[in-house]
Structure 1
Amino acid sequence: MSNNKKTVRSIILLVAAGIVIFFVYKKIAGKKAAEGPVAGASGAKGAPARALLTDAWIVKTSDLGQSIEASGTLQSNEEVDVKPEINGRITHLYFKEGTNVSKGALLVKIYDEDLRAQLQKLKLQQQLAKTTLERQENLLKINGISQQDVDVTRNQVSAYGADMEFTQTQLQKTELRAPFSGKLGLRNVSEGAIVSSATIITTLQQIDPLKMDFSVAEKYRNAIKTGDKVNFYVSGDIKEYQGSIYAIDPKIDLSTRTVRLRALVPNNNGALFPGSFAKVKILLKDLPDAIMIPSQAVIPGTRDKRVIVADNGKAKFVVVETGIRTESNVQITNGLQPGDTVITTGILQLKPGMELNYNKVQ
């Protein structure tokens, strides 16, 4: 019996201790709730946000020179591989490597003695045929020969003339002349070499002026026209050169979505060389009232772009549209007005409605 009493007493004590602990915990929790959330905890509903120290940018308008940068390649205005039209042996080379030549200048002579002998033979045969024709025409007057015989001889005279013209043309092919004025390249053959129509004897390039090919994105197709000026630099040269666009490819490249352009570049002093890489800059137009802000102030999103502006000392998120980018700034085409204060630092920590303190304002 005594054991049952002890068991009941133990149970009563445990229940009483549990009730006391419950009320003590409830009292402590109520006290913490009355004190409110920790200062600066912006996630607490209705709690005042702690001010964040940030840098700011006062929006203003400025002149913006719109330009496009592209990569280009310099090319000769005219370029040709000097090749013979016929097979033969080179008897003389009339040029020096790397020198300038004028249009029509004789460059190479190929052996032609056999063609000259053939031409001389044809001349003699034609002369004999002409003499025979004169005799037959006199005989025809007295009916001493038929008209058919005279016609055959006359046709033979014409045939010899045609053969002579053909041989003369072959003789002209033994002389290689410059098709245009330009600068010769390196020589690949020597006198006495047997050459064919596939043999490249040298190259001829017109390097003043030069052509420059480059491509730009298709969105700029209607912003560029023939006559527009382009500025460019070449590797190893700090001087800025200039040219003008004279041809635009009417077709847009399907793989790169770019349009190809060609500019004409003066090269009076010969400082530029065909094949050089060029860093091209095209000036499109000036925007007098462009709104520019630092690039780091723009918060990219999946659907839009935003910036944080100061609204009565508190952070406000505004959706904007961007335009041209420079090295450090970006153009805002919609969403901001001159005089707005844009936050440029601490944007990852800011939330709507947070109070702002400024460390530096530009």
Structure 2
Amino acid sequence: MSNSKKTIRNIILLVAAGIVIFFVYKKLTANGNKDTAGPAAGPKNPSKQLLTDAWVVKTSALEQSIEASGTLQSNEEVEIKPEINGRIIHLYFKEGTNVRKGDLLVKIYDEDLRAQLEKLKLQQQLARTTLERQENLLKINGISRQDVDVTRNQVSAYGADIEYTLTQLQKTELRAPFSGRLGLRNVSEGAIVSSASVITTLQQIDPLKMDFAVAEKYRNVIKTGDQVSFFVAGDTKEYKGSIYAIDPKIDLTTRTVRLRAMVPNNSGTLFPGSFAKVQIALKNLPDAIMIPSQAVIPGTRDKKVIVADSGRAKFVVVETGIRTESNVQITNGLKPGDTVITTGILQLKPGMPLKYNKVQ
């Protein structure tokens, strides 16, 4: 009975050992077939060649300019106010009309000042007559010199009062300080005005001034005398002016420099306060080399482009200059006639053959 159990156990062990040997053999056979067939299983078709777009370098005219926002201002502007208190007896101007320098605009009541002036003139004349008599008496020692000096000082004092009254009379007449155009009036005849009352405004609109600001990096590029062009809202005409003043201080908040230009306005179509879109021409380069911006590969130390060299890719270090919306100026590294690759530049490597899809 014990022999039968041993026989059965041996049979089971032999079967298990056979199964293990079978699986080990199968695994080794499979690995051998995989290694043998590996190279043959790879794709036999080579990868397709990369198609790229190219740009033939040529020269073109380039004008560097900057844009800014400006505001038109009157060349001269003043509020017409009286220097003294009084009642307006006459207005000699019409609203919105042109006047010349020195034209009488407003008259303030002055009868009291005129009466005072006449009184002072009579008192001065009486003092002069008294002085003449005293001087004759002084010759015969009929009066003291002190009395004569007092009378002489009185004559001079009346003269000073007369001059002061004449000055006050001049203040009753408001005249145009310069030629220009009047604004709307704020008072009527008979109104009582003071030195704080604004009767109207006077503006010189030919020529006009235009204020605008540019970034501080252009401070040493722009100078007085430079020409500017601009457009105003609602008008397609291009206007021109010239810079005549530059603020010596850079604004600490915006880091900009304020400039002021003089603008002719013979036609009278420009008005103070209008918004202006200003353009300033900085450079005019007739033979600039311009290429598409996407052709430039930026690096940490330099910039490169890919050019075609005997049908293969060649990386060339370049220096850039002025940028426009889509192109960039190349100041060094390229010459007219070179073919620059504009697409697929990230997939290309030095020496790779080139095949073009489109050449511009």
Q: Normalising by the residue count of structure 2, what TM-score does the alignment of the two structures yield?
A: 0.88
Instruction: Summarize the alignment of residues 134-149 of structure 1 with structure 2, pairs less than 5 Å apart.
Output: 134-149=132-147
User: How many percent identity over aligned positions?
Assistant: 78
**Aligned counterparts of 1:82 and 1:268: Cα–Cα separation in 2:** 25
Q: Select between 190-199 and 25-34 the one with higher mean Cα deviation.
A: 25-34
Partner of 2:328: 330
**Aligned counterparts of 2:45 and 2:297: Cα–Cα separation in 1:** 27
Partner of 2:27: 21
- Cα pair distance change 1:351/1:92, threshold 3 Å: farther
- Secondary structure of the 2:12 match is helix
Shift of 1:89: 1.9
Give the AA of the match of 2:226. Answer: D
Which string of whole-angstrom CA distances, capped at 9 and with x for unpartnered residues, describes residues 175-228 of structure 1?
111110001111122222222222221111111111122223333333333222
Instruction: Summarize the alignment of residues 259-278 of structure 1 with structure 2, pairs less than 5 Å apart.
Output: 259-278=257-276
**Aligned counterparts of 1:296 and 1:267: Cα–Cα separation in 2:** 45
**Aligned counterparts of 2:42 and 2:115: Cα–Cα separation in 1:** 118
Instruction: Confirm or deny that 1:202 pairs with 2:208.
Output: no
Instruction: Summarize the alignment of residues 226-245 of structure 1 with structure 2, pairs less than 5 Å apart.
Output: 226-245=224-243
Partner of 2:89: 91
> Gaps (5+ residues) in structure 2?
1-5
Shift of 1:8: 5.8
Instruction: Confirm or deny that 1:341 pairs with 2:305.
Output: no
**Aligned counterparts of 2:182 and 2:141: Cα–Cα separation in 1:** 66
Out of 166, 169, 181, the position equivalent to 1:168 is 166
- Secondary structure of the 1:223 match is coil
- Secondary structure of the 1:137 match is helix
- Secondary structure of the 2:27 match is helix
TM superposition outliers: structure 1 runs of 4+ over 6 Å: 37-40
Q: Select between 90-99 and 4-13 the one with higher mean Cα deviation.
A: 4-13
Shift of 1:50: 4.3
**Aligned counterparts of 2:106 and 2:262: Cα–Cα separation in 1:** 31
**Aligned counterparts of 1:96 and 1:30: Cα–Cα separation in 2:** 109
Out of 318, 321, 324, the position equivalent to 2:319 is 321
Give the AA of the match of 2:70. Answer: G
Give the AA of the match of 1:240. Answer: E
- Cα pair distance change 1:269/1:17, threshold 3 Å: same
**Aligned counterparts of 2:44 and 2:188: Cα–Cα separation in 1:** 93
Which string of whole-angstrom CA distances, capped at 9 and with x for unpartnered residues, describes residues 2-34 of structure 1?
346525633552354245235424543564455
Partner of 1:358: 356
Instruction: Summarize the alignment of residues 1-362 of structure 1 with structure 2, pairs less than 5 Å apart.
Output: 1=6, 2-3=8-9, 5-7=11-13, 9-10=15-16, 12-14=18-20, 16-25=22-31, 27-28=33-34, 31-33=37-39, 50-300=48-298, 304-350=302-348, 354-362=352-360
Q: Select between 10-19 and 87-96 the one with higher mean Cα deviation.
A: 10-19
1:50–1:355 Cα contact (<8 Å) kept: no
Q: Higher Cα Rg: structure 1 or 2?
A: 2
**Aligned counterparts of 2:313 and 2:233: Cα–Cα separation in 1:** 48
> Gaps (5+ residues) in structure 1?
41-48
- Secondary structure of the 1:138 match is helix
Aligned length in residues = 354
- Cα pair distance change 1:155/1:18, threshold 3 Å: farther
- What is the root-mean-square deviation in Å for CA atoms of aligned residues? 2.6
Q: Normalising by the residue count of structure 1, what TM-score does the alignment of the two structures yield?
A: 0.87
